[in-house]
Amino acid sequence: MAILVAGGAGYIGSHMVDRLIEKGRDVVVVDNLSTGHRAAINTKARFYEGDTRDHDFLEQVFTKETIEGVIHMDAFSLVAESMKDPLKYFDNNVIGMVALLEVMHQHNVKYMVFSSTAATYGVPERTPIHEEDRKEPINPYGESKLMMEHMIRWCDKAYGIKFVALRYFNAAGAKADGSIGEDHHPETHLIPIILQVAAGQRDKLKIFGTDYATPDGTNVRDYVHIVDLADAHILALDYLIQGNDSQAFNLGSSTGFSNKQILEAAREVTGKEIPAEEAPRRGGDPDSLVANSDKARKVLGWKPQYDDVHDIIKTAWTWKQKHPKGYED
């Protein structure tokens, strides 16, 4: 029986696939390579190139393979882009989820671990955020992910598809040996952009907004290492296979870092000056997003290995130094 990773060529997906293979699991990947990379997929996984909105394509994969459970990571996930082009997000994310759930139902596949996000909460009612807190997304990306959570919940009730929704906060870092890592085109995420400046590929960092309601005026985010994230999915899958009920969990480190603090930490890790300038706010950014992840630790037994943001940035820097141009190198 294989685990299907939808979006397994992406940043998080490629680490997910790698970790499953390290743990001896049989892995199938579907990905349309819209933002992912063929070279990021562990060669021990069986790869099918195609779009999750394409019902016939999925039908072929599910007929050929014996799928035990699905890890759903294929989505568009850029807040700013979603503000400019919401329909791109509802089309790719929501329609892709409909097709995947249909085919899972037809093939009697009963387990899904879903990549959800802190963006489902919108402006949090308290910090740190607990799973049951109010969810009112303030950008179409977060809205699409909340809709997807609701869709699976109804499919649980109707078809018995059990799910774990993992609401990650900010995924960061790379596999420690630097063999796989983050490579988006264009890059929009804070840490890889900072490291592009450190590597001399960009003049300076633009800090988007310095008038937020946070101690230094810049957004506060909660960074969680990519391999810790991958491990939480394996625990979640096993939790479902053992017969437990559907649940949602936050995944974060429970510590917030401002954008200025991340910049400072990156200067320390890289030993580079990393010029930066203040810039206007980016649309759709809440002041502060910090997780309470006690539930994942208690219920899933999740024990993140990385608790220092310097160590997380160090792994991203190793990847950057080994692959300055990402998967082109």
Site for ligand UDP (CB under 6 A): which residue of 219, 246, 250, 270?
A: 219
Q: Which does 82 bind (CB under 5 to 8 A by kind): ligand UDP, ligand NAD, none?
A: none
239 as an active site residue: the answer is no
Closest CA to 174 of 182, 163, 164, 166: 182
CB contact set of 87 (below 8 Å; sequence gap of 6+): none
Mask for 62-101, x = binds ligand NAD (CB under 6 A): -----------xxx-x--------------x---x-----
**Helix, strand or coil, per DSSP, at residue 98:** helix
Closest CA to 167 of 137, 125, 208, 212: 137
Please report the beta strands in 87-232, taking only residues with DSSP state E, as ranges in sequence order: 111-117, 162-168, 170-172, 205-208, 220-221, 223-225
Per CB under 6 A, does 11 bind ligand NAD?
Answer: yes
How many angstroms separate the Cα of 39 from the Cα of each of 24, 45, 49, 263? Answer: 20, 12, 13, 29
Segment interacting with ligand UDP (CB under 6 A) among 43-51, 106-114, 203-211, 309-317: 203-211
Q: How far apart are CA 58 and CA 51, in angstroms?
A: 8
Per CB under 6 A, does 259 bind ligand UDP?
Answer: yes
Tell the smallest beta-carbon distance from residue 70 to ligand NAD (Å). Answer: 12
Assess whether the previous peptide bond of 124 is cis (omega < 30° from 0): no
Give the nearer residue to ligand UDP in terms of CB position, either 246 or 270.
Answer: 270
Tell the smallest beta-carbon distance from residue 48 to ligand NAD (Å). Answer: 10
Per CB under 6 A, does 293 bind ligand NAD?
Answer: no
Query: Angle 249-72-75 (CA atoms, 0-180°, nearest 5)?
Result: 105
Q: Applying CB under 6 A, which residues contact ligand UDP?
A: 79, 170, 188-190, 193, 205-208, 219, 221, 259, 282, 285
Q: Applying CB under 6 A, which residues contact ligand NAD?
A: 7, 9-13, 31-36, 51-53, 73-75, 77, 92, 96, 115, 117, 168, 170-171
